[in-house]
Amino acid sequence: MILPPAILGMLGGGQLGRFFVSAAHEMGYRVWVLDPDSHSPAGLIADRHLVAAYDDYAALDELAATCAGVTTEFENVPAATLDYLAKFLSVHPSASAVAVCQNRIAEKTFLADNGLPHGPFAVVRHEAEVRNAGAGLFPAVLKVARFGYDGKGQARVANPDEALHAFHQFGGEACVLEKMLDLDCELSVVLARDEAGNVRCFDPCENRHRHGILDVTIAPAGVAAALIARAREVAGQIAGKLGYVGTLGVEFFVCGGALYVNEMAPRPHNSGHHTIDACVTSQYEQQVRALCGLPLGEPRAHSAAVMVNLLGELWYDDAHASSTYREPDWSVLHAVPNLRLHLYAKHHARAGRKMGHFTVIGDDAEKTLAAALHGRAAIGIRDDER
C-alpha cells in the first residue's frame, strides 16, 4: 500500500492527468508529471513537471528513482515505457493491458478471442484485404489501428473502392474495417479494478456525439435495466480478462436492443467527468486508490448529472476557429443553477480541442438534462450536424 505523502508519477499531461493530480493532492500525495508539452494542463499543477519525451530514459530513471507508483492518462504512451518502469516500481495499468487498448487490431482480436460482443470487422494491412472484404461489411468505417481518437484517423466508406481510397489516404497504415451499425444509442461504463480483482462500476451513461467528438453525457443512461446490467457485466469481464488495475472506460454501441463493444480506454474516460461532481468517489480518486493499493471508493451517484464538452471553436466567432480569438462569456453558464464549470488551462484553443466541460447535477433527470441543454445553447454550441 502506497500512503501519503508518497510521490506518484503520471505519464501524460492532459486534462485527465490534471484531474488525477488534483485528486491525489486532496488525498495528500505529491505528483510528478512527464509530458513533452511545457504548457500541459497537468504539468501546470504538478509538484514537478518533467518536460521530456515518453521514451527519454533519463527522465524515466528520475521517475523510477523518486516515485512510488506510476500510471498514465492516455493510451498512446509506448508500452515499452511502461515495461521499463515496471522493473523498478508499481505501474498500473500494465503494459500488456495498455497494448491491447492502444491498437484497434489487438483490441478487436481480444474481443473476438474472448467471446465478447462486437460488431463485424476485418483487419486491413494490405490492399488485397480491402478488395476481399465481403459486401456484407459495407457501409463501413475504416479506422487506423494506432493513434486515432475523437473521430481522427477514420473514414466512412460505402464500398471497397471508397475503402481503398481511404486506405491510401491513411498512407497504407494498418487499419480495421468496421461495419456501420444502425445505432439506438451509445453507452459507456467507467469502472475501477484493484489488484485483488475487486470491481466498482459507475452507473452506465448515455453519450451523444457531434462531429465525431463526445458532446453530451447523460448519467445515468435512460435505457432498460437489463441493458444496464449487461453493460456492467461485459465491462467487468473485459477488466478481468485484461488483468486490469486502475480506471477503465468501455464504450458500447446499442443496436436493436443488443450491446456491442466499440472500444476500451485504459484510463479515466471523458464520459466519466461527471463523477467529480455527482458521485461519492470520482473516477480520478479511484485511479489514485487502485494505483496505491487502497480500498476502492463507493462509486454511487448522489445526483443525476449531464456533462457537456466545451471545444476550442467556442473561443472564436466561427466554427472553424479562423476568426478573432475571444474568451467565451462564462457568466451565462454560471447563471445556470447547479452547474459546475471546469476549464483545463490549455494555452491555445483550436477547433475540436477539448478546452473544458461543465456538469449540471440535480434530483430530477429530465430537469437536469433540460438545464444542461439550456447552458449548452447559451454558450453557443449549435445543433447543426452530429
Binding residues for ATP: 104, 143, 148-154, 178-181, 186, 209, 262-263
Q: Which residues are annotated as a binding site?
A: 104, 143, 148-154, 178-181, 186, 209, 262-263
The three three-digit cell numbers of residue 341, written as one number: 464549470
User: Is 20 in a helix, a strand, or coil?
Assistant: helix
Of 11, 18, 12, the closest CA to residue 342 belongs to 18
d(CA 337, CA 22): 24
Q: What is the DSSP letter of 332?
A: H
> In the structure grid, which three cell numbers stand for residue 44, read together?
501546470
Q: How far apart are the C-alpha atoms of 217 and 188, rounded to whole Å?
A: 9
Q: What cell does 119 get?
A: 460488431
Which spans in the chain are helix H? 15-26, 41-45, 57-66, 79-86, 95-101, 104-113, 127-131, 160-169, 225-242, 275-278, 283-292, 331-334, 365-378
Cell readout for 15 is 486534462
Instruction: For residue 335, give every residue at least 6 positions away whose Cβ sits within 8 Å of its Cβ, in sequence order, or none.
Output: 378
**Listing from the earlier edge strand, what are the strands of the sheet with 154-157?**
121-124, 175-179, 140-144, 154-157
Contacts of 172 (CB under 8 A, 6+ apart): 127
**Count of residues for the chain?**
386
In sequence order, which ranges of 120-242 are alpha helices (DSSP H)?
127-131, 160-169, 225-242
Integer angstrom CA distances of residue 211 from 148, 205, 255, 371, 386: 14, 19, 20, 23, 5
What are the C-alpha distances in Å from 104 to residues 163, 334, 344? Answer: 17, 40, 28
